[in-house]
Amino acid sequence: MRADYGHVEEGALGKPRDLLLLKRLMPLLRPHRALLLGSTALVVVLTLLELALPYFSKIAIDRYIVPAHSVITRENSAGTADRRYLKIDITDEAIRDIVVRHPDLFELQAQTARIPYDDLGRLSHGELRVLRHKDFAGLTWVVLAFLVVVLADFGLTFVQRMIMERAGHQVMHDLRLWIFGHVQDQSMAFFGSQPTARLVTRTTNDVQNMHELFTTFVSMVFKDIFLLIGIALVFVLLDWRLALAVFALVPVVFWAAARFSLRAREVFRALRVKVAEINGRMAESIDGIRTIQTFAREEYNYQRFARLNQENYFLGMQEIHVFALFMPLIEVLALVSLAVLILYGGLRTLGREISMGELVLSLTYVRMFFRPIRDLAENYNVLQNALSSAERIFGVLDTDSRLPVVKGAVGAAPRLNGQFQSLVLRQIRFGYTPGEWVLNDVSLELRRGQTMALVGPTGAGKTSLLHLIQRLYDPQSGQVLINGLDLRHWDPEHLRALTALVTQTPVLFSTTVRQNIFPDPSAVDEHAAARIVEAANCAELVARLPHGLDTVLENGGAGLSSGERQLITIARALARDAQLILLDEATSYIDSQTEAAIYDALGRLMAGRTCLIVAHRLSTARMADRIVVLHQGQVAESGTHAQLLHAGGHYARLYAENQAVA
């Protein structure tokens, strides 16, 4: 079987399809639209609060610190001049006492008096507080209102982030399940063309990148856009001339942002491809470390990885170069806009066309205006990261190699009262690659209670036959029938409940021994569990384990020998109580001492059941009622051990070779 373990998927992303990708993500959002809409509504409220905060400074300045009405134009020897006065009500006795004590500072006008702001410094602090007690009180209320808005902003920001994060995590929860379910349902052909590292990366790293899209990106981008629109509206309402002065440089900003986005997308996508290649190379090296060290290929493998790493470094530097150029450019444009506003707004303030508070407010909004532009540029990076991940995720989800299910297919168990009767392979032709046949016109029949052994040289198609019987693959032509019913018409769950497989390379999972053996441990009492463990010759092994059947096997049982792992898989087959036993040479890599225990356990597993054995050792084949010899994908001969030896054909030659090796 040939597999494509290259990086075509990452290397051929093609033209960006951002809008299409975003559209395809919409079904993931629909179940959580209430949370997303609530979060967006809070973003609007938070934007309004943020826009309101600078307005408090205008109120404080124009009403209480330097009231706009305090500017008075008067004639003097040099002509007209503006001078600021503080106007006070002298009906208050305390204020009148201060005016009486400083007749040279105040000008009396009926029930009021006024004093130039320049002379306020000649009064004591206490006198100043008495004179401006209304301004102090008003300023205090402005500050308190400001703090209330700040606290409201803090509280609503917390709530908005919690809602957004919850929605994001729920979307990612659904996406992971979608990917996992899709991958798990694929045929074996899918896994032959998809490296494990790639599939793991799709479910972990790429999904996490998508999480940022639905939390940080959505939250911040909505806020930044609303903030830009809000500031623009405030400027227009405040003074359209100031708005024109400030926004004169906006076309330059948008031009720079467009140039940045195009360049950043190209570099970022290339960088993501290179990171994927590094992940694949790393996984490949770890999986093949024994071969690398055995053949002293460390230096060669190191140089290959170093080249990839160097390419990744250069792409990373290009990405930094793009950001290092764009961010300072935006900062320079912001400062230029600020300078324009100071000049133009300052002149208009001197000409009493706008107040001091309006100028300060405008300066604050200008600085606020360029911050979301910088944030949008940074979030564009997050968007490209997420869309690159989305592209790769949909690349997996769009690959559907599931075996076809016949419409209306049902389990055969009700029809046959749950009893296995026969297995028939009729003129099977099968190949992993079209045109390269592994099995060619193979026909076999196995009746209930019989044991059949498949022998032949490596590559003859023995294990492929087991794959077809379990319907891990479909033949290109011919039929596989159990009880006269084509496997395409079987419900996969019913079909696989009928069979149990013991492979030459035992596979255990990183969980307890009990859960490795029993599909549903809660449905098996301790007495039944002990009986199955004993029948599989696992009792001694289980007794040695620190927690018996409840011992957790780390790293798929790496601490156990091959023979011990094989005994556990035999116990698993016994617990399944299947009617058709498939053995893929369960003693290939076992020492002679353990082999006896495994043969004994296999004898109990096979007793009273129908068995099909793939035998690499011909001593195993002698256990069968009938031996079938496969050669170059075809049935070369079949019969009993004695009949085949007497025929002097392929089996006799294989047997002689086995005896010579032994």
List the beta strands (DSSP E) in 18-172. 71-76, 79-89, 107-109, 112-116
252 found inside a domain: yes
Pair (223, 150) in one structural domain? yes
Of the residues 122, 156, 188, the one at which a domain ends: 122
| pLDDT value at 6 more than 50 | no
The larger pLDDT score, comparing residue 397 to residue 262, is at: 397
Nearest to 132 by CA among 170, 155, 98: 98
408 found inside a domain: no
**Pairing mode of beta strands 79-89, 634-639:** unpaired
Range from 246-260, 408-422, 580-594 carrying the lowest mean pLDDT = 408-422
Which amino acid makes up residue 616? H
| pLDDT value at 2 more than 50 | no
Pair (232, 246) in one structural domain? yes
Report percent pLDDT > 70 for the chain. Answer: 91
Q: Report how far residue 366's alpha carbon sits from residue 138's, in angstroms, rounded to the nearest whole number.
A: 27
Place of tokens 């990076």: 381
Q: Which stretch of DSSP H or E encloses residue 14?
A: none
Nearest to 451 by CA among 283, 305, 308, 620: 620
289 found inside a domain: yes
Q: Which stretch of DSSP H or E encloses residue 630?
A: strand 626-631
164 found inside a domain: yes
How much is the pLDDT for 629?
92
Q: Report how far residue 167's alpha carbon sits from residue 35's, in angstroms, rounded to the nearest whole number.
A: 6
Range from 67-76, 464-473, 524-533, 641-650 carrying the lowest mean pLDDT = 67-76
601 found inside a domain: yes
Q: Are 585 and 614 in contact (CB under 8 A)?
A: yes
Sheet holding 580-584, edge to edge: 499-502, 580-584, 610-614, 451-455, 626-631, 634-639
Domain of 619, CATH number, reads 3.40.50.300
How much is the pLDDT for 12?
43
**Pairing mode of beta strands 451-455, 610-614:** parallel
Nearest to 456 by CA among 642, 649, 215: 649
Count of CB atoms within 10 A of residue 290's CB?
8
Pair (31, 78) in one structural domain? no
Pair (115, 144) in one structural domain? no
| pLDDT value at 413 more than 50 | no
Pair (163, 271) in one structural domain? yes
Residues ≥6 apart with Cβ < 8 Å to 369: 228, 231, 232, 246, 334, 337
Pair (80, 143) in one structural domain? no
Q: Which domain covers residue 86, as residue numbers?
A: 69-122
Pair (86, 213) in one structural domain? no
Pair (278, 345) in one structural domain? yes
Pair (453, 601) in one structural domain? yes
365 found inside a domain: yes
Q: Are 169 and 211 in contact (CB under 8 A)?
A: yes
Instruction: Find which of 3-12, 16-25, 276-285 is predicted with most confidence, using mean pLDDT.
Output: 276-285
CA 486, distance to chain mean position in Å, is 40
Q: Report how far residue 390's alpha carbon sits from residue 273's, in angstroms, rounded to the nearest whole number.
A: 13
Count of CB atoms within 10 A of residue 480's CB?
24
DSSP state of 512: B
Instruction: Find which of 78-87, 192-201, 311-320, 445-454 is predicted with most confidence, using mean pLDDT.
Output: 445-454
What's the chain's length in residues? 662
Q: Are 221 and 407 in contact (CB under 8 A)?
A: no
How much is the pLDDT for 8?
36
Residue 593 pLDDT level (bands cut at 50, 70, 90): low
For range 25-36, the mean pLDDT: 86
* DSSP assignment of 410-463: --STTTTTT---EEEEEEEEE-SBTTB-SEEEEEEEEETT-EEEEE-STTSSHH
Phi, psi dihedrals of residue 255, rounded to the nearest 5° = -60, -45
Q: What's the distance, Cα to Cα, between the start and end of the chain in Å?
A: 30
Label residues 154-173 b or e (16+ Cβ within 10 Å = b): eeebeebeebbbebbebbbe
Range from 51-65, 261-275, 455-469 carrying the lowest mean pLDDT = 261-275
Nearest to 621 by CA among 590, 647, 643: 643
> Per the structure, how many domains does the chain have?
3
Pair (225, 281) in one structural domain? yes
Pair (19, 146) in one structural domain? yes
| pLDDT value at 60 more than 90 | no
Pair (386, 512) in one structural domain? no
Phi, psi dihedrals of residue 421, rounded to the nearest 5° = -115, -45
pLDDT in tens, 290-304: 888 877 888 888 998
Residue 589 pLDDT level (bands cut at 50, 70, 90): low
Residue 447 pLDDT level (bands cut at 50, 70, 90): very high
Q: Report how far residue 129's alpha carbon sits from residue 337's, in angstroms, rounded to the nearest whole number.
A: 39
How much is the pLDDT for 409?
54
For range 243-253, the mean pLDDT: 79
Structure-token pair, residue 556: 């798929």
613 found inside a domain: yes
pLDDT in tens, 497-551: 888 888 878 888 888 899 999 888 888 888 989 999 999 889 888 999 898 899 9
564 found inside a domain: yes
